[in-house]
Amino acid sequence: MSGSTRQRRDIQGLRAVAVLAVIAAHVFQVPAGGFVGVDVFFVISGFLITGLLLRESGRTGTISFRRFYERRAKRILPAAVVVLVATTIASVALLGKKGGIGVGIDALYSAFFLGNWRFAAEGVDYFAQGTPPSPLQHFWSLGVEEQFYLVWPWVMLAIIVFAASRGWSALRARRLTRTLIVLLTAASFGWALYETQANHAFAYFSTFSRAWELGIGAVLAFLPALPLGLWWRRAIAWVGIAGIAASLVVVTESSPLWPAPLGLLPVISTALVIAAGTDPWILSNRVATYIGDISYSLYLWHFPIAILGVTILPAGSLVYYAAALVAMFAASILSYHLIENPARRATWFARREGRIRWLTRAWIPVTSALAVVVLVGTAGIAAVSVVRGDEQATGPVAEVVAPTPGATEDQIDPATDCWGAGTSLHPDECAEADLTPIVPSSEDLLDDTGGAYQCYNASDTELTSCTFGVESDDATRVAIVGDSHAAGMLPALWPQLEGLGWSLDTFVGRGCALTLVTDVVTDCDVARPAINEALTSGDYDVVLATSTRKFGKDQASQEAIMAQIRDAGSQLIVVEDNPLPTEESIACTTRLGASADSECGTAADVALADTHTLAAAARSLDLPVVDLTQLYCDDDFCPGIIGGVRVYRDAAGHVTATWATSMSAPLARALIDAL
């Protein structure tokens, strides 16, 4: 099957199917399994590269690593370098300096084809849920491929040398190579099955969990053409095409069986099309083959444009769809014809007597493209800085009056403060208030925690607790318990502790929502017994509890622990969780040109769709519930920017410390009322 050197139109068509599926998933979010286009690419790459190595070894009896890696460098690097530089500069302009630095680090890893390990190690940032991924995250697949190519030619050469030392025939050496790749492919698939269950997020990016897909393609290169008639081979090709189409619908990224064993569906389907060796019209027409020709450039450019595009245009809008597609295809066509294709065919270095003597004109397109990118990018950064010029790095300092124990409402909040939650409390008085600049800045949004997570149980470890506030024997002893949403409430509590006379102990951590037992494994299982023992000891005058409404708990179990806390003599107060924003709401609040008047937000019925089981449990026991929803929502709409303050850090509903500080006084007032 590897004997022909002609370009196969069916493989070019497969490339077109693969890249269009990936683009559709990233731009339109349909089909759900569009990302399997990457798996199609893996099989194609394994087949083509192994076939190339087999032809060379059969022709020369060896493998030239200089020629092999030179071909890879000419094929991959020129266009990739331009995209990496362009994306980094665009990220500085659109995401700010901090965001640009992060993308720059991603670019550095990706340039050395190690991006997959960086993204695997980072996994999913719990405190950045619903925020866009790195615009260079798609480089992970190139990392997997190049790491495979770093090893596989050496394995083949080792077998050639071994066979020659034994006097084996070329056929026997070929059989040994085929047997070894089958064994390595099986081992990789076995590891993928294990890692998919043990560490699902890591398995997605891991070379060891993905090598089997390239291995399937490599095995194909060893096989002879199918000894079947044209009709049968066409039938096999269509079965493969149907399998790829089915995988776009059947496979989802959240599936616990992805990448193994579900990856078998697109991988085996692709293998069937390649093995059939026919040219179905759907794959071999001129449009499909041309898209296949530019598929590498399309893959490189599509993701940065899709991700960074939402910082300018609303995702899901017709304008966004049209602009993204035009930009992707325009950039890819130019990249293919001016950079990628000329670079692949050019001689980059002039040699004399086996040594590199000078550079050739082949460098001109790449260096010119980089110069244009830098110039345009610099102008773009300057233009964006003008638009964002009114954003400051930090928000205003809350002028909060710390109340005394037993304080009245006027003592807690004696004046109208028209920023953040203050505008929700005093809409008429604040109607004409100047709400610029918007704080925190979009660049500092994810970092705006105010130290809320400095004493946070982020993993399955023994309990870590801290004490804040009054240090005296007559202080009111208070405990706060819950998950990341409870920790996010601390910046609202800290300004009030002295005035309230509270000594506050924290029992917050990932998955640590108040409950007696859980029927699922959480990151708080080790710490939970110590937390519940402390809360039911009767040592606390007041226990504050809150948690995200997104992940409800067993209400009966929550009622049971609440009853134990109450019976121990502690006053339990539950704070109803804040509304949850959508991903589009977060994108809108950080979009270029976002202002206090921007209509960014989430419909109340969506933001409050999930029942807060903790609050429901408290109400069933007639325990006080503090509900501050009126600060977040108005007229069935929950804005993402209120009183010049960005409310949320991410789509998981983690509020900014700036917003939490702005609601310090109304929260204190509500707690006093509850007591």
428-481 per-position pLDDT tens digit: 888 888 888 899 988 888 889 999 999 998 877 888 899 999 998 899 999 999
Which pLDDT value is given to residue 405? 36
Average pLDDT over residues 625-654: 94
Tell me the angle at which helices 170-198 and 140-166 cross, rounded to the nearest 10 degrees: 150
Q: What is the pLDDT of residues 470-519, one digit of tens each?
A: 998 899 999 999 999 999 999 999 999 999 999 999 999 999 999 998 76
Instruction: Count each helix (H run) and each strand (E run) in the chain, helices first.
Output: 29, 12
DSSP state of 483: S
pTM tops 0.85, yes or no: yes
Neighbouring C-alpha atoms within 13 Å toward the C-beta of 335 = 29
- CA separation for the pair 482, 514 (Å, rounded): 6
Count Cβ neighbours within 10 Å for each residue of 626-642 and write b for 16 or more, e otherwise. bebeebbbeeeebbbbb
Q: Using alpha carbons, select from 234, 232, 291, 256 the residue that is nearest to residue 37.
A: 291
Pick among 3.40.50.1110, 3.10.180.10, 3.40.50.720, 3.90.470.10: CATH of 410-674 = 3.40.50.1110
CA angle 619, 623, 627 (to 5 degrees): 65
Q: 451 or 1, which is more confident?
A: 451
Q: How confident is the model at residue 110 (pLDDT cuts 50, 70, 90)?
A: very high
Number of neighbours of residue 153 by Cβ within 10 angstroms:
22
pLDDT at 350 exceeding the cut of 80: no
> What is the greatest pairwise CA distance in the chain?
97
Q: What is the pLDDT of residues 136-194, one digit of tens each?
A: 999 999 999 999 999 999 988 888 888 888 888 878 888 888 999 999 999 999 999 99
Q: Using alpha carbons, select from 457, 460, 458, 456 the residue that is nearest to residue 526.
A: 460
Is residue 134 packed enough to be buried (19+ CB in 10 Å), middle (13-18) or exposed (0-12)? buried
Give the residues across from 573 on adjacent strands. Answer: 544
Is-contact 625 618, C-beta < 8 A? yes
Is-contact 390 401, C-beta < 8 A? no
Q: What is the pLDDT of residues 17-56, one digit of tens each?
A: 999 999 999 999 999 999 999 999 999 999 999 999 999 8
Q: How confident is the model at residue 393 (pLDDT cuts 50, 70, 90)?
A: very low
Q: What is the pLDDT of residues 662-673, one digit of tens each?
A: 999 999 999 999
Token pair of 1 as six digits: 């099957």
Is-contact 612 553, C-beta < 8 A? no
Q: Using alpha carbons, select from 86, 88, 110 the residue that is nearest to residue 100.
A: 88
- CA separation for the pair 572, 574 (Å, rounded): 7
Q: What is the pLDDT of residues 53-103, one digit of tens each?
A: 999 888 888 888 888 988 898 899 999 999 999 999 999 999 888 889 999
Q: How confident is the model at residue 613 (pLDDT cuts 50, 70, 90)?
A: very high
Q: 579 or 342, which is more confident?
A: 579
Q: How confident is the model at residue 391 (pLDDT cuts 50, 70, 90)?
A: low
Q: What is the pLDDT of residues 521-551, one digit of tens each?
A: 778 889 999 999 999 999 999 999 999 999 8
Token pair of 198 as six digits: 């043990």
- CA separation for the pair 179, 611 (Å, rounded): 57
Token pair of 564 as six digits: 């134990």
Helices (H), 30-64: 37-60
Is-contact 617 514, C-beta < 8 A? no
Which pLDDT value is given to residue 396? 42
Is-contact 506 490, C-beta < 8 A? yes
pLDDT at 4 exceeding the cut of 80: no
Structural domain boundaries in the chain: 9-385, 410-674
Secondary structure of residue 18 in the 3-state scheme: helix
Is residue 194 packed enough to be buried (19+ CB in 10 Å), middle (13-18) or exposed (0-12)? middle
**CA 415 → CA 75, 423, 429, 479, 500, distances in Å?**
66, 12, 11, 29, 19
pLDDT at 395 exceeding the cut of 80: no
Which pLDDT value is given to residue 389? 63
Q: What is the pLDDT of residues 283-321, one digit of tens each?
A: 999 999 999 999 999 999 999 999 999 999 998 899 999
